Amino acid sequence: MSELGLCSRREADEWIAQGWVRVDGKIVAELGSKVLPQQRITIERQASAEQSKRVTILINKPMGYVSGQAEDGYKPAVVLVNAESRWQEDQAPQQFHPKQLRSLVPAGRLDIDSVGLLVLTQDGRVAKQLIGEDTSIEKEYLVRVKYGKPGQLPEADLKLLNHGLSLDGKKLLPAKVRWQNEDQLSFILREGKKRQIRRMCEAVGLKVIGLKRVRIGNVKLGDLPTGQWRYLGADEQF
């Protein structure tokens, strides 16, 4: 069910337990049941209705908040999601309700000292799309840097940032890295290793002064103010 993009693995477990899943018309109530390629999986309406209530939230994360669980005394970004901090220009028809905070998890990391677009979702399909093993969705960052040597970063090192670096003994996927102005680079990545951009920059003698994520796939941060949030619109897709 997860591989077909119907839901997340956790949702699949819940739906099977509720009796909302059929294979070739017969209800399957046992977790881990085998399904043959030619068999047809159908979902009861209750599951679809339940899924449609699940929200995806876009937040402009400020510095000093962690993406997921609270750690080292720092608060998670989800504490910023409440009725008062919703962006006034959000056009989505949903009304905020505290139950939307249940199972609201980050779909991807943004370091404590990084800012910008963070996705929090209750929808396993969105999480799989953004952080699944086979995701190819681009993430764009604006990165303010300082070069540790005299002069400017050599062109050969800029090429290395685009392709040729390795982290933890593994080659990085090709990236798109270019200068925005004399001290700011644009990074477009299709992967998200821990502190990847900072470590890439260190490898060529650059120190990151500031890092902001401005786009995930087709969804842009836009004018969303720092510390505020909005719903992912029904017409928006990553």
Architecture per CATH, 54-135+222-231: 2-Layer Sandwich (3.30)
pLDDT for residue 4 is more than 80: no
Q: Could you read off the pLDDT of 69-101 as tens digits, one per residue?
A: 877 889 999 999 999 999 999 999 989 998 889
CA 29 from chain center: how many Å? 32
Asked if 62 and 114 touch (Cβ cutoff 8 Å), the reply is: no
Strand partners, 185: 143, 179
Q: What is the pTM of this model?
A: 0.82
> Hey, which residues are catalytic here?
111
**Fold category of 139-216 in CATH:** Pseudouridine synthase (3.30.2350)
Domain boundaries, the chain: 9-51, 54-135+222-231, 139-216
- Residue 132 tokens read as 């699944």
Mean pLDDT throughout 187-202? 93
DSSP string, 23-80: ETTEE--STT----TTS-EEE-HHHHHHHHT--EEEEEEPTT-BSSS-BTTBPBGGGG
Position 49 pLDDT exceeds 80: no
The mean pLDDT of 227-231, rounded to a whole number, is 98
Element (H, E) at 196: helix 196-203
What does the mean pLDDT of the chain come to?
91
Q: What is the tens place of the pLDDT at every residue in 55-65? A: 999 999 999 99
Q: Reduced to 3 states, what is the DSSP secondary structure of residue 193?
A: coil
Nearest-angstrom CA–CA distance, 19 and 30: 9
Q: Which has more confidence, 181 or 128?
A: 181
